[in-house]
A and B are shown apart, each in its own frame.
Chain A
Amino acid sequence: MFKKILLILLIINGGVMLSQNKIFPYEYSKVKLDNGLSAILIPMESAGTVAFYTVVRTGSRDEWEDGKSGFAHFFEHMMFRGTERFPGNVYDSIVTSIGADANAYTSSDLTVYHLNFAAEDLETVIDIESDRFQNLKYTKEQFQTEAGAVLGEYRLGRTNPRSVLFEELRNLAFDTHTYQHTTIGFEEDIKNMPNLYEYSLSFYQRYYRPENCVVLIVGDFDKANAKNWIEKYYGNWKSGYVEPNITPEPTQTEARLKEVVYEGRTLPMIAVTFKSDEFDVNNKKFLSKIPFAELAFGTTSDLYKKLVLQEQKVTFISAQPGMTRDPYFFSIFATVKDEKDIDYVISEIKNCIEYFKNNLVDNQKLENLKKRNKYSFLLGLDSPRGVAAGLPQYIALSGGISVIDSLFTNLEKITPEDVKKTVNEYFIPERSNTIILRGKK
């Protein structure tokens, strides 16, 4: 996670901050249309290829109505069903004929549509993409058929214990906020999707609006042309975004623990999480948990060395700081070799946290982490896709990529003392949610 953050930060001026040398070679510009649509243009040398991303700042977080979980992801599928001008099969055949690599994904806070293609096809891509965002049209029949594919995708996920663990974790940690469900949604809601045709139209009307979308273009292209095409093809898109009515999650008051059984065989898995805050670039407490994830639980941490390399009781351990629009959690995931060690591993994780409540993280390690993130960023810039792929999360969180500037500056200032303070404030039992998953015997 930290790696990704830095990736973005440095795009703006990370190099200056890190080494007084500008390390990011690309400059970007922003276009803002009257209807609220933003476009970010990042020209770079790339042997004639371009990455085109549309970020919709709507994800499973926005599924606030009862029985509608999983809808943002489902809707992502519907976006491939075409318009009057370019019906689904025509859209497909255009994408095919230009040999574009096209796909989409959905997560808690966003839905992203992306294409990689030859630079000469940029106008074509802007034409077909802008059209489906404004004029999507599908029949009830097509809608219902797609629901079957989504159910197939859900079934696929259930054969993976990690998905089951994650689904149970969300459900345990949240009571009222929409983060209660994962992106794929609750099974009963997915099964009911074929009946929600009318709802799907309203979903499109409310969320697929220019104020809620950001277009990102990276690669070998002419900036002036791209700007003209954005104005030409997106200019008539009507604004009208309606905000979701999400119920905030009340403050958790006691520790929660749930044991679940996976319908198959697996090594036991555990998730230990602590509620924290929403993404806020000016919240030092929030930012300090980002380096903490790597320093306390990453591959160079003492805990990793003890549990994975020396005692060999754990085959996998990793922590995610959690960066979301609304308050979420910091999570530690571990796969345990033997069931009898589950309690031991949980207590080791807790001991590790207690240790950092009383002791500072090693300053040299913190500096190494900063260096690592610089090179991690540089190594990620090996193609337009590499540059583009890291940006959507920040667009979802803040609406643009300028936030990265201050994010980077602030992360650079994090000290071992800040980390210690954060551990003391967030990592307390009443904020915790723990899942223990075992396979069927």
Chain B
Amino acid sequence: MNSTKLLIILFLLIQPLSVAMTNNLNIDNNRLVLLPVKSDPSISLKIWFKVGSQNDPVGKEGLAALTAQMLTEGGTTNNSYDQILDKLFPLAASYQADLSTEMTVFEGRTHKDNLDVYYSLFVDQLLNPNFKEEDFNRLKNNLLNYLNTTLKYSSDEELGKAILYNEIFDGTRYAHVLQGTISGLNNLTIDDVKNFYKKYFNRNNFVIGVGGGYDEKLVKKLWTDLQKLPEGEERKVEVPSPKKIEGLNVTIVDKNTNATAISFGFPINILRNHSDWYALALANSWFGEHRNSSSHLYQVIREQRGLNYGDYSYIENFPLAGRRTKPPTNVSRRQQIFEVWIRPVPNDAKHFTLRAAVRELEKIVENGLSQDAFDQTRKFLQKYVLHYASTTSEKLGYAIDDKFYGMNGSHLKSFRDAMSKVTLEEVNNAIKKHLQYENMEIVFVTNNGQKLKDDLAANAPSPIQYSSPKAQSILDEDKFIVNYKLPIKMEKIEILTVEDLFK
């Protein structure tokens, strides 16, 4: 018997043991994610409820967000919110409800020393929310302020992305932002929140995640305590089917800006449990690894031409990209898009930059990756993926996502393993199969919308002026970009005014 076989047999022998251990707890394996790290002096708790903004009732968009906030930023029947803040304060611990389209994860972390106090606050908050009018008003107002002012006027990049999702998922429950809509929020009553809580925060709709230096008794207790949640069931929501995009559709958000934010993309039918995923992830990493100068788009637009601060691409949802350097966890969803994020460029370079970016997308789709690019990216990801989850809490987040996607083992481990096996051919096949450049939604947040509309429809040349001299090779390439054909029809360009958004 060779050693590999022996290892496999040993592995098979060990496997049932660990299942049996879990069974000792009498907890359904599908509802439990454990990540013991004995040396970790902290304990991470994550309770994943299978509910997200996709569950907002029609006309009440924002209900999932408000309910999640009421659970973590409101009082309970035992403690008012300010009492909770006082009790958490000396522990330097907190908890929050992370909402995404399909998930709500109630999560927090504490030092072992403080587990008892922390645990009782944590569970009390889930089991005994008091849904008080004053908390309801405060939190609803915060959400309305976010839609009315912050999102519309304080970050053109976030705005552009919100509109991109809005357009791609138009007509589905993925379309609205997590915070809902203005009319949806205005329609909400405190009874809506109470009913939503009963319906979704029920004892059959969660998965427990515990990580760090915990004791098995904690898991048992948590499971038992959460059985006090309302009776109910898991409610499945259909996977959204976004409409087919034909040609290039452009949405221009017209507002007074001193720079232009651009986002574009299209739905892709691939999730991380798909056999092509790691190959496509490698291609995407080369093309646009998030916040990394190894991104090819970054090289073309920022490094060589100095047009903006960065340019990246995604095959999985990546909210609040401006605020994080690594992929988030627990934002899993069953329908993903391919997305390109162009950080603000000078207003007079917007048409040129779109051309440059789409042209690069065309090149990767038509030509695939070179051997060099492939080798380098493979090597890069083998180690870079280590940084995606460096703490217990982050690893636990990934483990919960593994459950969501029904992964066979750890995604991050599979990711690293795949990098030593994947071939260039597989990568280029995955590109061909999943990416394209002819049918996309494109969003600009910019001024002079009508002028841009005319230019785009006319396919007018977009000459570029740099504030500094550029190498001849760049100028030569620019000649192709300036006249690069983007077939956009006048009737496929829509101008929106910022005041009217998110109604």
Mark A residues whose CB is within 8 Å of B.
3, 45, 48-49, 80, 92-93, 95-101, 103, 116-118, 121, 140-141, 143-149, 151-153, 155-156, 158-161, 194, 263-267, 299-300, 305, 308-310, 312, 315, 337, 368-369, 371-376, 378-379, 382-386, 439
Instruction: Establish whether residues B82 and A305, one from each chain, have CB atoms under 8 Å apart when the complex forms.
Output: yes
Taking A266-B149, A337-B141 as known contacts, 13 extra A-B pairs with beta carbons closer than 8 A to each other, sorted by chain A number, are A96-B379, A99-B382, A145-B468, A147-B468, A149-B306, A149-B307, A153-B309, A159-B154, A264-B153, A264-B154, A376-B92, A382-B40, A386-B391
User: Which residues of A sit under 8 angstroms from B469, Cβ to Cβ?
Assistant: 140-141, 144
User: Residue B309 contacts which of A116, A149, A305, A386 (CB distance < 8 angstroms)?
Assistant: A149
* B195 at interface, CB cutoff 8 A: no
- In the complex, chain B residues 81-121 whose Cβ is within 8 Å of any chain A Cβ: 81-82, 85-86, 89-93, 109-111, 113-114
* Chain A CB within 10 A, most for which of B134, B303, B325, B346: B303
CA distance A234 to B233 in the complex (A): 64
Instruction: Establish whether residues A159 and B468, one from each chain, have CB atoms under 8 Å apart when the complex forms.
Output: no
B252-284 CB mask vs A (1 if < 8 Å, else 0) is 000011110000000000000000000000000
Instruction: Establish whether residues B343 and A309, one from each chain, have CB atoms under 8 Å apart when the complex forms.
Output: no
Instruction: Establish whether residues B467 and A147, one from each chain, have CB atoms under 8 Å apart when the complex forms.
Output: yes
User: Which residues of B sit under 8 angstroms from A156, Cβ to Cβ?
Assistant: 157, 259, 309, 343-344
- In the complex, chain B residues 280-320 whose Cβ is within 8 Å of any chain A Cβ: 291, 293-294, 302-309
Instruction: Establish whether residues A92 and B383, one from each chain, have CB atoms under 8 Å apart when the complex forms.
Output: no
18 CB contacts below 8 A, A to B, read: A93-B376, A99-B379, A99-B380, A101-B384, A118-B386, A143-B468, A148-B467, A149-B308, A156-B259, A264-B153, A265-B149, A266-B149, A266-B153, A266-B154, A312-B134, A315-B141, A375-B111, A382-B391
Q: How far is the CB of B346 from chain A (nearest CB, A)?
A: 8
Instruction: Establish whether residues A373 and B468, one from each chain, have CB atoms under 8 Å apart when the complex forms.
Output: no
Q: How far is the CB of A265 from chain B (nearest CB, A)?
A: 4
Known A-B contacts A148-B306, A149-B302, A382-B391; A3 and B92 likewise in contact (beta carbons under 8 Å): yes
User: Which residues of A sit under 8 angstroms from B91, Cβ to Cβ?
Assistant: 372, 375
* B387 at interface, CB cutoff 8 A: yes
CA distance A194 to B42 in the complex (A): 50
Instruction: Establish whether residues B376 and A96, one from each chain, have CB atoms under 8 Å apart when the complex forms.
Output: yes
Q: How far is the CB of B449 from chain A (nearest CB, A)?
A: 16
B322-351 CB mask vs A (1 if < 8 Å, else 0) is 000110000000000000000111100000
Q: How far is the CB of A258 from chain B (nearest CB, A)?
A: 21
Instruction: Establish whether residues A144 and B467, one from each chain, have CB atoms under 8 Å apart when the complex forms.
Output: yes
CA distance A159 to B307 in the complex (A): 17
Q: Which 3 A-B pairs have the closest CB atoms?
A: A99-B383, A148-B306, A144-B468
CA distance A374 to B387 in the complex (A): 27
Instruction: Establish whether residues A382 and B392, one from each chain, have CB atoms under 8 Å apart when the complex forms.
Output: yes
CA distance A266 to B152 in the complex (A): 9
CA distance A179 to B269 in the complex (A): 52
Known A-B contacts A116-B387, A309-B82, A382-B42; A147 and B306 likewise in contact (beta carbons under 8 Å): yes
User: Which residues of A sit under 8 angstroms from B141, Cβ to Cβ?
Assistant: 312, 315, 337
CA distance A369 to B93 in the complex (A): 12
Closest to A88 in B: B303
User: Which residues of A sit under 8 angstroms from B377, Cβ to Cβ?
Assistant: 96
* B137 at interface, CB cutoff 8 A: yes
Instruction: Establish whether residues B468 and A141, one from each chain, have CB atoms under 8 Å apart when the complex forms.
Output: yes
User: Which residues of B sit under 8 angstroms from A194, Cβ to Cβ?
Assistant: 467-468
Instruction: Establish whether residues A379 and B81, one from each chain, have CB atoms under 8 Å apart when the complex forms.
Output: no
Instruction: Establish whether residues A160 and B155, one from each chain, have CB atoms under 8 Å apart when the complex forms.
Output: yes
CA distance A191 to B134 in the complex (A): 49
CA distance A146 to B294 in the complex (A): 16
User: Which residues of B sit under 8 angstroms from A143, Cβ to Cβ?
Assistant: 468
CA distance A382 to B109 in the complex (A): 11
User: Which residues of B sit under 8 angstroms from A95, Cβ to Cβ?
Assistant: 294
Closest to A374 in B: B92
* B57 at interface, CB cutoff 8 A: no
Closest to A305 in B: B82
* B4 at interface, CB cutoff 8 A: no
Interface size of B by CB at 8 A reads 75
CA distance A375 to B89 in the complex (A): 10
Instruction: Establish whether residues A309 and B81, one from each chain, have CB atoms under 8 Å apart when the complex forms.
Output: yes
Instruction: Establish whether residues A300 and B89, one from each chain, have CB atoms under 8 Å apart when the complex forms.
Output: yes
Q: How far is the CB of A23 from chain B (nearest CB, A)?
A: 9
Q: How far is the CB of B377 from chain A (nearest CB, A)?
A: 8
User: Residue B343 contacts which of A100, A152, A300, A374 (CB distance < 8 angstroms)?
Assistant: A152
Instruction: Establish whether residues A145 and B304, one from each chain, have CB atoms under 8 Å apart when the complex forms.
Output: yes
Q: How far is the CB of B501 from chain A (nearest CB, A)?
A: 12
Instruction: Establish whether residues B383 and A368, one from each chain, have CB atoms under 8 Å apart when the complex forms.
Output: no
* B11 at interface, CB cutoff 8 A: no
- In the complex, chain B residues 7-51 whose Cβ is within 8 Å of any chain A Cβ: 39-42
User: Residue A379 contacts which of B42, B142, B384 (CB distance < 8 angstroms)?
Assistant: B42
A-B contact count (CB 8 A): 188
Q: How far is the CB of A222 from chain B (nearest CB, A)?
A: 19
CA distance A48 to B466 in the complex (A): 45
Instruction: Establish whether residues B306 and A267, one from each chain, have CB atoms under 8 Å apart when the complex forms.
Output: no
Instruction: Establish whether residues A312 and B137, one from each chain, have CB atoms under 8 Å apart when the complex forms.
Output: yes
Instruction: Establish whether residues A383 and B391, one from each chain, have CB atoms under 8 Å apart when the complex forms.
Output: yes
* B393 at interface, CB cutoff 8 A: yes
Instruction: Establish whether residues B390 and A385, one from each chain, have CB atoms under 8 Å apart when the complex forms.
Output: yes
Closest to B109 in A: A379
Instruction: Establish whether residues A375 and B149, one from each chain, have CB atoms under 8 Å apart when the complex forms.
Output: no
Closest to B419 in A: A99
Instruction: Establish whether residues B467 and A96, one from each chain, have CB atoms under 8 Å apart when the complex forms.
Output: no
Instruction: Establish whether residues A372 and B92, one from each chain, have CB atoms under 8 Å apart when the complex forms.
Output: yes
User: Which residues of A sit under 8 angstroms from B392, Cβ to Cβ?
Assistant: 382
* B138 at interface, CB cutoff 8 A: yes
CA distance A439 to B325 in the complex (A): 30
Known A-B contacts A148-B467, A309-B138; A267 and B383 likewise in contact (beta carbons under 8 Å): no
* B471 at interface, CB cutoff 8 A: yes
Closest to B39 in A: A45
Instruction: Establish whether residues A146 and B383, one from each chain, have CB atoms under 8 Å apart when the complex forms.
Output: no
* B381 at interface, CB cutoff 8 A: yes
Instruction: Establish whether residues B383 and A98, one from each chain, have CB atoms under 8 Å apart when the complex forms.
Output: yes
B459-476 CB mask vs A (1 if < 8 Å, else 0) is 000000011111100000
* Chain B CB within 10 A, most for which of A80, A100, A369: A100
CA distance A146 to B303 in the complex (A): 7
User: Which residues of A sit under 8 angstroms from B306, Cβ to Cβ?
Assistant: 144-149, 152
CA distance A337 to B148 in the complex (A): 12
Instruction: Establish whether residues A155 and B138, one from each chain, have CB atoms under 8 Å apart when the complex forms.
Output: no
Instruction: Establish whether residues B39 and A148, one from each chain, have CB atoms under 8 Å apart when the complex forms.
Output: no
Q: How far is the CB of A154 from chain B (nearest CB, A)?
A: 9
CA distance A155 to B376 in the complex (A): 33
User: Which residues of B sit under 8 angstroms from A103, Cβ to Cβ?
Assistant: 291, 325
Instruction: Establish whether residues A372 and B145, one from each chain, have CB atoms under 8 Å apart when the complex forms.
Output: no
Instruction: Establish whether residues A97 and B89, one from each chain, have CB atoms under 8 Å apart when the complex forms.
Output: no
Q: How far is the CB of A189 from chain B (nearest CB, A)?
A: 14
User: Which residues of A sit under 8 angstroms from B148, Cβ to Cβ?
Assistant: 265
Instruction: Establish whether residues A267 and B145, one from each chain, have CB atoms under 8 Å apart when the complex forms.
Output: yes
Instruction: Establish whether residues A371 and B90, one from each chain, have CB atoms under 8 Å apart when the complex forms.
Output: yes
User: Which residues of B sit under 8 angstroms from A153, Cβ to Cβ?
Assistant: 309
* B385 at interface, CB cutoff 8 A: yes
CA distance A144 to B466 in the complex (A): 10
Known A-B contacts A159-B344, A265-B153; A96 and B470 likewise in contact (beta carbons under 8 Å): no
User: Which residues of A sit under 8 angstroms from B393, Cβ to Cβ?
Assistant: 382
User: Which residues of B sit under 8 angstroms from A118, Cβ to Cβ?
Assistant: 383, 386
* B402 at interface, CB cutoff 8 A: no
CA distance A325 to B86 in the complex (A): 33
Closest to A385 in B: B390
Q: How far is the CB of B502 from chain A (nearest CB, A)?
A: 13
Instruction: Establish whether residues A97 and B379, one from each chain, have CB atoms under 8 Å apart when the complex forms.
Output: yes
User: Residue B111 contacts which of A93, A267, A310, A379 (CB distance < 8 angstroms)?
Assistant: A379
Q: How far is the CB of A370 from chain B (nearest CB, A)?
A: 9
Q: How far is the CB of B216 from chain A (nearest CB, A)?
A: 22
Closest to B326 in A: A101
Closest to B377 in A: A96
Q: How far is the CB of B211 from chain A (nearest CB, A)?
A: 11
